[in-house]
Chain A
Amino acid sequence: MPERVVLAIGTKKGLFVAEAAKTRGRFELRGPFGPGVAVYATLIDTRSTPRIYASSCNPFFGMKVLRSTDLGKRFKETKAAPAFPKEDGRALANIWAFETGAGKKELWCGVEPAALFRSSDGGDSWELVPGISNHEHARQWQPGAGGLCLHTILQQGSRLHLGISTGGHYLSEDGGQTFVPANQGVGAGFMPDPYPEFGQCVHKIAAHPAAPGRLYMQNHGGWAEWDGPGGPRPHIGVLRSDDHGKTWYSIAKGLPSDFGFPIVVHPHDPDAVYVMPLAPTTRTCPGGAPAVWRSENGGMSWTRLAQGLPKKQSYFTVLRDAMDMDQLKSPALYFGTTTGQLWMGRDGGEAWSCLFDALPPVHCVKTAVV
């Protein structure tokens, strides 16, 4: 079968799947699956027969995990969803992240309240990962506007990086057994101490397998004008680490704002990284003119990419998991908006077109070539 580009689009009202030939000429849309129920996390697992996973977190009836083995033509619930042990005292409020693990059917799942679960059978059963879920800091983490969520899971061999809002970046170097906060250089605008050990509002972390040790982070920036205790803290929002997340430094210089949610790395170039700067107070496109910004030198300088995007009167937000890039030779970047648009930027974001104009508000977008 010729290669196909698949998009899994999680929205406020269910999951949609879009599919196109690799020319990306026309995307066929399927869904909604889990209609009416918000989807904050999706995963397209291409390790063997492609499987699409989606969270389906129903505020009335609780949490489900949906799974498709036919590229999103049909979805069924897995046998179980993550759940805290009864004696724990916490109740699952939302599912924020799925990622593949080391084993063939191993999956990670990040949830709200911030905790991590692992499945070794493709999502049919789940176990709490105590090293982070019961970490001594866990009861001190605070919810951000979206809730207290563990939203980023990055596995690099025996290293596991987690992003928690607001908990910060936590690192395991033993495959997820134990975790330590690793936030040196990661600022917190909303605390008197600008650089606490933990408690930062990390928005997203990204990496590339060809650059071991390098990480990019979109942190909660926008505090350059702060004049209270601790003083202003410019450029805390877009960061880079070259030592597996142990220390971080700003790469925000040249961006119109260091506030934003997603951060994405080019699939073939670890020096190419993309962000979507937003006005920090409104969290919408600065000046009503949306643009993706790209660095091709690891964050040393940035270029505005807006050809084809609206030039004015566009005040949407792009959420932390709502931007992704396919893996074709000349990859396209995709982002979904809180106003229900799905945009595609060909040639690494050089030329934008709107694929779908009136979806429900988009929470997350994942893409794969299958």
Chain B
Amino acid sequence: MAQAVRVIVYVPRELRKECGGASTLALTAATVRELLCEVERCHPPLYRCICDETGAVRRHLNVFVNSMHLRDRQGLDTVLAPGDEVVIIPAVSGG
């Protein structure tokens, strides 16, 4: 079982008002799924912007661990390492 580690979450500018203006969050979790639970616990409005009611990451948001997209790793079960940077970036979709 993976150990909980300290990681940094980078919050996009559009969502910083949902977490008191912070551009980064230092949180402790073993996996991305646990990390999102921490976001929900500490910053519920921010969580609702990142995930829908089912817990899925919103379709037009991309989540990277360091430089790799979640879909190229193990999705929400991706294991985190100490000091990992978790980056949330809106997709380029739209019109």
- A residues near B (Cβ < 8 Å) are 59-62, 83-86, 88-92
B54 and A86 contacting across the interface, CB-CB below 8 Å: yes
Question: In chain B, residues 5-62, which have Cβ atoms closer than 8 Å to a Cβ of chain A?
Answer: 14-15, 48-50, 52-56, 58-61
B53 and A61 contacting across the interface, CB-CB below 8 Å: no
- B residues near A (Cβ < 8 Å) are 14-15, 48-50, 52-56, 58-61, 90-91, 93-94
Residues of B within 8 A of A89 (CB): 54
B94 and A59 contacting across the interface, CB-CB below 8 Å: yes
Residues of A within 8 A of B15 (CB): 61
Residues of B within 8 A of A92 (CB): 52-53
A91 and B61 contacting across the interface, CB-CB below 8 Å: no
Nearest chain-B residue to A79 (Cβ)? Answer: B45
Is the contact region of chain A dominated by helix, strand, or loop, or is it mixed?
A: loop
The winner among A59, A61, A90 for most chain B CB atoms within 10 A is A61
Nearest chain-A residue to B15 (Cβ)? Answer: A61
A62 and B90 contacting across the interface, CB-CB below 8 Å: no
Give bound CA distance, A62 to B48, whole Å. Answer: 7
Minimum distance in angstroms from A33 CB to a CB of chain B = 16
Minimum distance in angstroms from B93 CB to a CB of chain A = 7
Give bound CA distance, A205 to B55, whole Å. Answer: 35
Give bound CA distance, A88 to B48, whole Å. Answer: 16
B53 and A91 contacting across the interface, CB-CB below 8 Å: yes
A61 and B59 contacting across the interface, CB-CB below 8 Å: no
B61 and A60 contacting across the interface, CB-CB below 8 Å: yes
Give bound CA distance, A182 to B55, whole Å. Answer: 36
Known: A59-B59, A59-B60, A60-B90. A83 touches B53 (CB 8 A): yes
Residues of B within 8 A of A88 (CB): 53
Known: A59-B59, A59-B60. A91 touches B54 (CB 8 A): yes
- Cβ-neighbour of A61 out of B56, B58, B93, B94 (below 8 A): B58
Residues of A within 8 A of B91 (CB): 60
B59 and A86 contacting across the interface, CB-CB below 8 Å: no
- Cβ-neighbour of B60 out of A60, A83, A91 (below 8 A): A60
A84 and B53 contacting across the interface, CB-CB below 8 Å: yes
Minimum distance in angstroms from A92 CB to a CB of chain B = 7
Minimum distance in angstroms from B39 CB to a CB of chain A = 13
B52 and A62 contacting across the interface, CB-CB below 8 Å: yes
Known: A59-B60, A60-B61, A60-B90. A86 touches B55 (CB 8 A): yes
